[in-house]
Structure 1
Amino acid sequence: MHITFYGAVREVTGSMHLLSTDEDRILLDCGLVQGRRKESAEKNRVLPFDPQILTNMILSHAHIDHSGRIPLLVKKGFGGRIYCTRATADACGFLLPDSAHIQESDAEYLNYKTVRGALSRMRPGEYGNTSKRELQDVRKLLKKNGHKLDVDVINEYIQRFHLKGVEPLYTTFDAEQALKAFEGIPYRNPVTIGSGVTCKLFEAGHILGSAVAMIRYEANGKSRTVCFSGDIGRYDKPILRDPSNHLDGFAKDVDLMIMESTYGNRDHEPVIDLRPRLKKVLNETFEQGGSVLIPSFAYGRTQELLYVIHELYADGEVPAMPVYVDSPLAINITKVFGEHPEVYDKETHETFLQQGKNPFAFKQVKFTSSVEASMALMREESPHIVISASGMCEAGRILHHLRYKIHDPKNTILIVGYMANHTLGRRILEQGTAYEASGRSGEPPIVKILNKEYPLKARVVKIGGFSAHGDRNEMLRFLKQSDLNIKRIAVVHGEEDQSLAFCQRLKDEGYDAMVPRVGETLAI
């Protein structure tokens, strides 16, 4: 048996590893690479193997950096099954079509810019009998109803002028086709995924449905076991059960552990500090008449925020200002959470379910679906909370809320999750916290949003306790409590400095650990 590391190797996004036996090839995750637009687009379009050689796939959880290239995989000929938990399958039913919509929208906008730029440089008669008047009229034709792009007209002129258009990575149709390959299975339920290859999934505690995969291969009287951690969550957090203490899989011996390292060299704030920290931020902002803007991942982080805010409001610790969830995807994912109470922890059952309450719905919560309601909310000046996607501020409605609120020092931008390198979220976090550390002296930093510059006058606060990833101590706790004899660990899913630091920590603890490189293959 061999394992080849193709994605999330010395970086965080694009999780993808290939497990090979004499008879089968099993893919572990198929994630989207995120970061700089051009660089990411180039990486995402190229799969490092022909999808038709794959037997089946294991998906650790639904986050796009683990699932986002599945529609491309199926589009290019993958014919196997995608095994994951039932909650993950349900979440992907919303996440993948949403990702496809973003791919299509990005392609349409880039094509619009290409045609508009070409028209601005054209001279009358350059393309056949095109007159000056026609060139002016064409620019108006690129949009309909004042602002919506006219895709048919744009594509027509791309062909007419022989321009280089952009194709989406995949379409909504491709995403819908990919969903047919999903096979949701319960935790701890063994399933055959290849000839002599069996898999069991265990709670990872990261997000709803996230799983640690134990994979057992038996052939010629011998057996080998690989454990794929996926992303490991935190301990003692609300809603979900902790990462599994005992992986009662197929044997105590694990030949290779593929272990994430997102926070391999960092310590989080204690989970018990999460609620009082949020209370402090909300009260300080409301007292000065401001609003709190929270860029949040639609899946997991949004629901956790609603849970804690619900508790604060119920106990009267914070003025009960309106809470707007301004993300159609987050609204749909919140419904998925409501459909899977079987994965909630004991506290959530006792605090909410047994009292007949929904943890994610209370009087002050308003779910904003329409564009019109979202636009009206952007102009709202009375104190409120907005939870909006995307979590790294790279796309979506959060960008428009930032445009309207980032320049006002009464407002707070609350960072509650990981911000990858080269994202707008990371720039806001770094520049905003540096400005706070300087005592807000001098001119505020300038950030560019949708190609326009804005002064970053709003307060920027980070609460690390909301992270869905365990820190280095929690990841080590998971390994030690797993009740396994781990022969070797391959450290993945972390920026290079984090992976190397966590690898050294593992060695100091007596583990045989290494950090693979992209394309490297290990024999098991």
Structure 2
Amino acid sequence: MEVTFYGAVREVTGSMHVITANSDKIMLDCGMFQGRRKDSEQKNKEFPFDPKSIINLILSHAHIDHSGRIPLLVKNGFTGRIFCTRATADACTFLLADSAHIQESDANYLNYKTLRNALLSKSKGKSKNNKKSEIAAMLKHEGNKLNVEKITELIKENDLEHIEPLYTIEDAQNSLGYFDRYPYRVPFEIGQDTTCTLFEAGHILGSAVSLIKIKENGRVFRLCYTGDIGRYDKPIIKNPCALFPEEDKNIDLLIMESTYGDREHEAMEDLRPQLKKIINDTVARGGSIVIPAFAFGRTQELLYIIHELYHGGEVPRIPVYVDSPLATNITKVFGEHPEVYSDETVKAFLSIGDNPFAFKELKFVASVDESMVLMRDNTPHIVLAASGMCEAGRVLHHLRYKMHNPKNTILLVGFMAQNTLGRRIHDQGLEYEKSGRKGEPPLLKLLNKEYPLKAHVLKLGGFSAHGDKNEMLRFLKESKLKIKQIAVVHGEEEQSIAFADFLSKNGYSTMIPEPGKTLKLT
């Protein structure tokens, strides 16, 4: 038996590993690489093996860095089954379609730019602005919508490179027919003399730790794949599993994430009182709160805590808007899976017949027209909108209308990567707050115009879906798994190295694989 580590090895994205046993090849996740366009584009296009050789795939959870290349795998010849929890399969229905839409939109825009630049270089005798206007009129229709058919036709005529999306919406929809849904703690067959059982990972709705049992050459191997391990005492879902069958606790290899292998998070119990203060202070100023939030997980956790605050009469019950089509669909998935809720959620809401994701002040914004009306609303309200790092989507327009008013609050609840608008709001906004809001506010450019950042910028930490180093160690200790070796993956190299060292000091045998490395178990 052997395991080859192909993705999320000394980096965070692109989770993908392959188990070879009894002549079967079984995949663990099929994630998309994310990062610099050129680097990730090349990694995503090709698999380092023949997709037809994979008999089945185990999907730990629905996040795109774990699931995002499934449509491409199917498109390239995979004919096996994709095993996951019911909630994960339902979330993938929307997440994979959204990813495909992004792939198609990016390809269409790049083709437009290629053609426009080629046509501009051929145009003579006119000003540059006039040339651009004429070309835009030819290549766009229905306002500002790209005329994809015309662009494709002209690219072919001009013998230019036509960029294809990684996969299409049709490819994403086709891949959904390969999913098999399983509840936690129910073993199922995934290959010859090979079974898998899923346990709660506590990361996001439906996330799972996979315990794989393989009989080969007269002995039994047990391999455990954590996927992403969540935090403890989070809203909505259960903690990472601590109860594994006694007969399956001897683990030959644990493949474990290390995203925050050298970090310690803020306490989860601090989130509610902090959010309570932010809402009360903002409403007292007569302002609104704009929250850039990821559609899957972060939005639903915020809704849950706001509902709790409303339920307890701790804050004014101002309107709450979810202005993201994807977040709206994912919130419905959350509402359809009460079987994975924590005991606290059941006690707080289900036991009294209440839905944690439905209260009278909550409204889901469907159309762009509705969103435009909301942007201009100056009465106190809360709006959660995508994207989480403020790089695209409807949140940009809410910021455009709200950021120059000191009554309002921009609440940051997630990681902001370097070179994103969210990071600039984070760095400059928090620095302005730290100075006591003295002097001129920082100017930030968005949608090709500069705006003064007069709104209060606040950060609410502790929302990470990944456990920190102590929480991941807690999972190991409480599970009482007897582990021969831990392969540390899914972390930037410095995080993986730090976490492997941390585990070693706590008595565990660790290794950090290199990309493409094969580990044989004997």
* 1:212 counterpart residue number: 209
- 1-side partners of 2:130 and 2:418: how far apart? 46
- Opposite residue 5 of structure 2, the aligned amino acid is F
1:238 aligns to what SS in structure 2?
coil
After superposition, the Cα gap between the structure-2 partners of 1:347 and 1:281, relative to the gap in structure 1 and judged at 3 Å, is: same
User: 1:245 Cα deviation (Å)?
Assistant: 0.6
* 2:97 counterpart residue number: 97
- Which of residues 383, 387, 392 is equivalent to 2:389? 392
User: 1:446 Cα deviation (Å)?
Assistant: 5.2
Q: Are 1:405 and 2:402 counterparts?
A: yes
User: 1:133 Cα deviation (Å)?
Assistant: 9.9
- 1-side partners of 2:66 and 2:502: how far apart? 25
User: 1:502 Cα deviation (Å)?
Assistant: 1.3
Q: Over residues 16-54 of structure 1, what are the superposed CA-to-partner deviations in whole Å (9 max), with x where a residue is unaligned?
A: 111122411111111122223333323222322221111
* 2:348 counterpart residue number: 351
- Opposite residue 44 of structure 1, the aligned amino acid is N
After superposition, the Cα gap between the structure-2 partners of 1:521 and 1:401, relative to the gap in structure 1 and judged at 3 Å, is: farther
After superposition, the Cα gap between the structure-2 partners of 1:404 and 1:215, relative to the gap in structure 1 and judged at 3 Å, is: same
Tell me whether 57-66 or 132-141 shows the greater mean CA deviation. 132-141
- 1-side partners of 2:157 and 2:470: how far apart? 60
Contact 1:200/1:249 (<8 A) preserved: no
- 2-side partners of 1:175 and 1:184: how far apart? 17
Q: Are 1:202 and 2:210 counterparts?
A: no
* 2:162 counterpart residue number: 165
Q: Over residues 188-241 of structure 1, what are the superposed CA-to-partner deviations in whole Å (9 max), with x where a residue is unaligned?
A: 111111112111000011111100001111112112111110111111122111
Tell me whether 53-62 or 106-115 shows the greater mean CA deviation. 106-115
Contact 2:22/2:192 (<8 A) preserved: no
* 1:496 counterpart residue number: 493
* 1:374 counterpart residue number: 371
* 1:312 counterpart residue number: 309
- 1-side partners of 2:38 and 2:374: how far apart? 32
Contact 1:216/1:250 (<8 A) preserved: no
- Which of residues 177, 181, 198 is equivalent to 2:174? 177
User: 1:139 Cα deviation (Å)?
Assistant: 2.9
User: 1:497 Cα deviation (Å)?
Assistant: 2.2
Contact 1:119/1:135 (<8 A) preserved: no
* 1:21 counterpart residue number: 21
Tell me whether 404-413 or 71-80 shows the greater mean CA deviation. 404-413
Q: 1:280-295 counterparts in 2 under 5 A? A: 280-295=277-292
After superposition, the Cα gap between the structure-2 partners of 1:71 and 1:394, relative to the gap in structure 1 and judged at 3 Å, is: farther
* 2:116 counterpart residue number: 116
TM-score where L is the length of structure 1: 0.93
Q: Over residues 408-466 of structure 1, what are the superposed CA-to-partner deviations in whole Å (9 max), with x where a residue is unaligned?
A: 44332222233445544344434433443444556655555456555544433222222
* 2:518 counterpart residue number: 521
- Which of residues 318, 326, 343 is equivalent to 1:329? 326
User: 1:165 Cα deviation (Å)?
Assistant: 2.8
Count of equivalent residues? 519
Tell me whether 456-465 or 509-518 shows the greater mean CA deviation. 456-465
**Percent identity over paired residues:** 64
- Opposite residue 83 of structure 2, the aligned amino acid is Y
Q: Over residues 239-267 of structure 1, what are the superposed CA-to-partner deviations in whole Å (9 max), with x where a residue is unaligned?
A: 11111112227522111111111121111
Q: Over residues 395-420 of structure 1, what are the superposed CA-to-partner deviations in whole Å (9 max), with x where a residue is unaligned?
A: 33223333333344433222223344
Tell me whether 484-493 or 5-14 shows the greater mean CA deviation. 5-14
Tell me whether 440-449 or 285-294 shows the greater mean CA deviation. 440-449
- 2-side partners of 1:54 and 1:422: how far apart? 38
* 2:147 counterpart residue number: 150
After superposition, the Cα gap between the structure-2 partners of 1:331 and 1:257, relative to the gap in structure 1 and judged at 3 Å, is: same
Unmatched tracts of structure 2, length 5 or more = none
User: 1:135 Cα deviation (Å)?
Assistant: 8.7
* 1:38 counterpart residue number: 38
Tell me whether 60-69 or 380-389 shows the greater mean CA deviation. 380-389
CA RMSD in angstroms, aligned pairs only: 2.3
- 1-side partners of 2:258 and 2:378: how far apart? 41
- Which of residues 449, 463, 468 is equivalent to 1:466? 463
TM-score where L is the length of structure 2: 0.93
Q: Over residues 346-373 of structure 1, what are the superposed CA-to-partner deviations in whole Å (9 max), with x where a residue is unaligned?
A: 1211211121111111111110111111
Q: Are 1:191 and 2:177 counterparts?
A: no
1:318 aligns to what SS in structure 2?
coil
- 2-side partners of 1:358 and 1:177: how far apart? 32
- Opposite residue 511 of structure 2, the aligned amino acid is M
